[in-house]
Amino acid sequence: MNKLEKLTYFPGCTLKDTASDFEISGMAVMEALGYVLEELERWNCCGTVFSLTDDDLMHQIGPVRDLIRAQEAGSEEIITLCSMCYATLKRSSLFVNGNQERLDKINAFMNKEIDYEGKVSVHHLLEVLRDRIGWEKVEERVTNPLEGLSVAPFYGCTLLRPQEIAIDDPDAPTVLQDLTQALWATPIDYAYSVECCGAYQVVDHRDVVIERTHRIMSAARRAGADVIVTSCPLCHFNLSDTQKELVRTIPDYEEMPIIYFTQLMALGFGVEAGKIPASLKAKVKRLQTVKGEG
């Protein structure tokens, strides 16, 4: 077997807990493509949100320390799976890289760390798939074509906004649709794919988030989606949390599976990695049986 190419990987807190299926499936599908996600040693929480006030260097310490960890590991990049970690680390890297005054201040403050040189860049796994591996290679690896499966991509905010960190067109992205097509599934178009789910407002304004996510899921369902695919553990939580509420309150409510893009890849690659909602597994099996008979 060929040697696997290493990618310096930053998991973030949530992938080690509520979003563990994201990490498990991410590692498995990348291995299938010839890569190993090598976890950064001694990483810490990125802070989850980027500090938006210009004078606040204190909240850059967390993410910059992670950039130092990559530098120590001899890597000039960090790859994330979590969209929120991506945005926070990416924005921090842009905030300090090449800005000597900020670097000097932060380095002087962190006197127990080696100086950060400002050379680490941050990328999301979807960028690696699109720009380095390419959809053709992804498609070559498919053993279980997801033909007939309608997929609603849900981008959320932090992969696309603000513009300076967008991995795709902020208003009309295609990266998740392109991945979907590479797996032989059908991407569906609906009005809410780049909308905000309400994010952390779930902590003290849960009703607002429930209303938003209900609208998002209804739109996806009306457009014919079988499954919603995302890359953000907070979007995933909010959509799933709302759905539990809908199941409880609406008679005969039919649940919509909500999965990470790496889980969709695992399905297409025929790789067993982490839990896939039973209804989705059954749906895929049904589609393939129909195809076999046809």
Partner 1 sequence: MTKAKQTAQEEFALLELSMDEIVDKVEELSGENVFDCYQCGMCSAGCPLAEEMDLLPNQVLHALQMKDPEAMSANSMWICASCYTCQVRCPKGVDLAKVMEAMRQIYLRKRMDHVSLDGLSHREIRRLPQIAIVASFRKKTG
Write out the residues near partner 1 by the rule CB under 8 A: 12-14, 17-19, 45, 47-49, 51-56, 59, 82, 84, 157, 160-163, 166, 170-171, 195-196, 198-205, 208, 212, 233-234, 237
We find the least distance from the C-beta atom of residue 88 to partner 1, in angstroms, to be 10
Q: How far apart are CA 34 and CA 57, in angstroms?
A: 39
What are the distances in angstroms from CA 122 to CA 8, 81, 180, 195, 260?
Answer: 10, 11, 24, 23, 20
DSSP letter at 169 equals -
**Cβ distance to partner 1 smaller for residue 70 or 202:** 202
> 153 preceded by cis ω (within 30°)?
no
Q: Is 83 helix (H, G, I), strand (E, B) or coil?
A: helix
**Complex with partner 1: residue 84 or 89, whichever CB lies closer:** 84
* Beta carbon nearer to partner 1, 13 or 110: 13
Q: Among residues 54 and 293, whose Cβ is nearest to partner 1?
A: 54
Minimum distance of partner 1 from residue 210's CB (angstroms)? 12
- Nearer of residues 84 and 183 to partner 1, judged by Cβ: 84
CB 188 within 8 A of CB 223: yes
Q: Residue 10's beta-bridge partner residues?
A: 80
Least distance to partner 1 from the beta carbon of 45, Å?
Answer: 7
Alpha carbon distance 184, 291 (integer Å): 13
Q: Provide the minimum distance between the beta carbon of 181 and partner 1 in the complex, in angstroms, as a whole number.
A: 25
Decide: 188 and 219 in contact? Cβ < 8 Å: no
Q: At closest approach, how far in Å is the CB of 81 from partner 1?
A: 12
